[in-house]
Structure 1
Amino acid sequence: KSQFSSNALSFDGKEGSDVGVLSSSIIEPIPGTFSFPLLSESHCNLIYQELLHYEKTAQERPELGLPLQIRHDGNFGSLQDCGFRPLLQAVEAIFQPLVRHLMPGKGQCEVYHAFLTRNWVGRDENAKFKVHCDKSDLTFNICLQASTDMEGSTVGFYRDPTGAEKGSVPTEVD
């Protein structure tokens, strides 16, 4: 049995937490974009360390034939193909009630693609990140490794409902 069952994951590590408890922590900086604590720091660290272990093993032991896709921007892609599907299914089970609560018109969500990005000040590959529109109706971003000295790490969202601003540079929202 996977150690990443949906029972093992909880909203920010709080026992018995549910969407109602989490609601007080949800911030909506722009319509349709939500920010909230989802997983405890210990769960994030466990997941992050397992991703690094998998990547290292796949690189150092090619004879094992472990799938490993390093994307054009140097990030670790297609986690669903690398044995992390149970984790993604557990996260999906957590997201389902959130989607029903926050976006009742969206219906069900399915986590079908996941990748690990690496961002730090001075990382040359960060310049390869492009302003883009995801192909999915919903996109979830989970920060697995934040530190007290973290700087320069953001995920930006912007909306142009008319489609007239293709290629424009998004602005920050406080």
Structure 2
Amino acid sequence: MPPPPQQAPEPAGLQLLLQPEVVAPNHPPPAPPAPAAVPAPPQPQGEARYRRPLVRLQAVPNEDHVPDNYGDGPDELGITPAVYQALERHLPPDLAGAPAEVKRYFMRSVLRNYVPSPSQRIRTQNQREYRERILSAYQPLHPELYTNDPSTFILPAFLQAINGNTEESITSIMMEPAPGVFAFPMLKPSFCQMLMSEVNNFLRWAQSANQSIMRPTSLDRHGRGAALSDFGLQEMLDNLMKDFISPMSTVLFPEVGGNTLDSHHTFVLEYGEADGARGFHVDDSEVTLNICLGKHFTGADMYFRGIRCGNHVNSGTHDEEYFVHPNVPGQVLLHHGSHRHGVFSVTSGRRVNMVMWCKSSVFREMKKFMTDFSGFCRECQFQRTARQVQHLQELTMPFNFCQLP
């Protein structure tokens, strides 16, 4: 693994953009004034120091600005010259005319927070090559699944509700068996059957071709399954999230960026009696869609234990938060990704579920600067209420004049 890139030194021309700041040195207080005949010593005037100015990018690019040339290929961070040139148009006017190495230094300091690390780039490249090997050799069993229009698999009643595009039409097809958990029919039974047989066909092909399969998640060490994007269903699933899940999430989960979902990780898992339970966890998602595809089974009920932010994910469960819901073939569950949950063991038969972890890069960036998640976290709500009660008590507490000195 290559060593991480070192911090680039400040360019020589950087001082041209820095404004001097007068900082008083840490001198002891001046001595008492001397007798009148002796003038008092002069006060220290301080020394000039420099501080790095706060550079704010402009929201609207300057299309008339001609950016500098930043070479022919990506640098050690993987940032291409085109990215530098595009970002340069967002620099403030006093920085846009600076030397190229000065502008690159500032732009790198911004982009460094968003570019993947070397290990992440290697992992992404391995994932891309893994999928290319599969797509070049695997022959789909049901080509109709790979259409870019998932509406052909949607039940007419659900399609009508989504096309209504109102909160009333969307919630009219749902029931809420527990706060924040929504259940509804969505997919045609024929789609569920085709998807299960397609996954089985893919797993059989992988075994016969000696193609190793990446596990869909690190949580599932038992059972069998696959990530659906690995064998060609990415575009269909992208449209499923954009056209159907995002409208629901906009109404039901606005506090976690339900209207800004822009990526997903979708997989199918099959569990039997010998595979045990799926442990207590939270999903790597803002919104989770869980569809029970089949087959015939008993047991495997899902249980929920309240929504928590990352700071309180291991906190206790209140009695009213504990809820058990059966896995019903053909039924969809939509819930907050941070809703703590698990699945009991299958007692007979085989259970197959499709899970879609829907993510919002906008909300994840905003979350870095948030300290209060009382919009959805129960513990944050309790702490906020406690602070408000304490503040009110302090305001209404009678003043004791005897405490005055």
Q: Same fold (TM over 0.5)?
A: yes
Alpha-carbon distance change, 53 to 79 in structure 1, aligned in 2, over 3 angstroms: same
1:107 aligned residue (250, 255, 259): 259
**What is the alpha-carbon distance in structure 1 between the residues aligned to residue 245 and residue 171 of structure 2?**
13
Root-mean-square deviation over aligned CA pairs? 2.8
2:291 maps to what in 1? Answer: 142
d(CA) in 1 for partners of 2:226, 2:208: 18
Corresponding residue for residue 69 of structure 1: 214
The residue type equivalent to 2:323 in the other structure is E
**Selected match of 2:303 from 113, 138, 156:** 156
* Residue deviations 1:74-93 (CA, integer Å, cap 9, x gap): 33133222322133223213
Q: Which residue of 1 aligns with 2:246?
A: 96
Could you tell me how far 1:24 is from its partner in structure 2? 2.6
Counterpart contact for 2:225–2:269, Cα < 8 Å = yes
Question: Are positions 1:78 and 2:227 aligned together?
Answer: yes
SS in 2 for 1:39: coil
Counterpart CA distance in 2 for 1:26 and 1:155 is 18
Residue number among 171, 177, 188 corresponding to 1:29 in the alignment: 177
Give distance in 2, aligned partners of 1:102 and 1:54. Answer: 35
- Give the conservation status (yes or no) of the 8 Å contact 2:224–2:271: no
After TM superposition, the structure 1 stretch with the greater mean CA deviation from structure 2, 154-163 or 26-35, is 154-163
Distance 1:74 1:86, change over 3 A: same
Q: Distance in 1 between matches of 2:238 and 2:289?
A: 13
Give the drift of 1:130: 0.9
TM score, norm. by length of structure 2: 0.36
Of the two structures, which has the highest relative contact order with CA contacts closer than 8 Å and spacing of 6 or more? 1
Q: Look up the match of 2:281.
A: 132
Q: Does 2:153 match 1:9? A: yes
Does the Cα contact within 8 Å between 2:161 and 2:173 map onto a contact in 1? Answer: no
Looking at structure 1, the residues matched to 151 and 276 of structure 2 have their Cα atoms a distance apart, in angstroms, of 35
Structure 2 unaligned blocks of 5 or more = 1-143, 326-405
- 1:53 pairs with 2:201: yes
Contact 1:9 1:43 in 2 (8 A): yes
- Cα contact 1:69–1:76 (8 A) shared by 2: no
User: CA 1:111–1:27 in 2, change beyond 3 Å: closer, same or farther?
Assistant: farther
Query: 1:13 Cα shift?
Result: 4.5
> Relative to structure 1, is the Cα distance of residues 160 and 16 closer, same or farther in structure 2, using a 3 angstrom cutoff?
closer
2:186 to 19, 38, 50: 38
Q: Aligned partners of 1:16, 1:32: CA distance in 2, in Å?
A: 22
CA distance in structure 2 between the partners assigned to 1:115 and 1:134 by the alignment: 13
In the alignment, the residues of structure 1 paired with residue 148 and residue 236 of structure 2 have an alpha-carbon distance, to the nearest angstrom, of 5
Indicate conservation of the 8 Å contact 2:250/2:259, yes or no: yes
SS in 2 for 1:68: coil
Q: Find the residue that maps to 2:323 and give its secondary structure.
A: coil
Q: Is the 8 A contact 1:45 1:144 kept in 2?
A: yes
SS state of the match for residue 304, structure 2?
coil
Structure number having the greater strand percentage:
2
Quick one: distance in 1 between partners of 2:266 and 2:159? 27
Say whether residues 1:18 and 2:161 are aligned partners: yes
Question: In structure 2, how many angstroms separate the alpha carbons of the residues matched to 1:55 and 1:157?
Answer: 31
> Which has the higher Rg, Structure 1 or Structure 2?
2
Quick one: distance in 2 between partners of 1:28 and 1:144? 20
Between the aligned partners of 2:156 and 2:207, the Cα distance in structure 1 is 33
Query: In the alignment, what sits opposite 2:401?
Result: none
- Which runs of 5 or more residues in structure 1 are unaligned? none
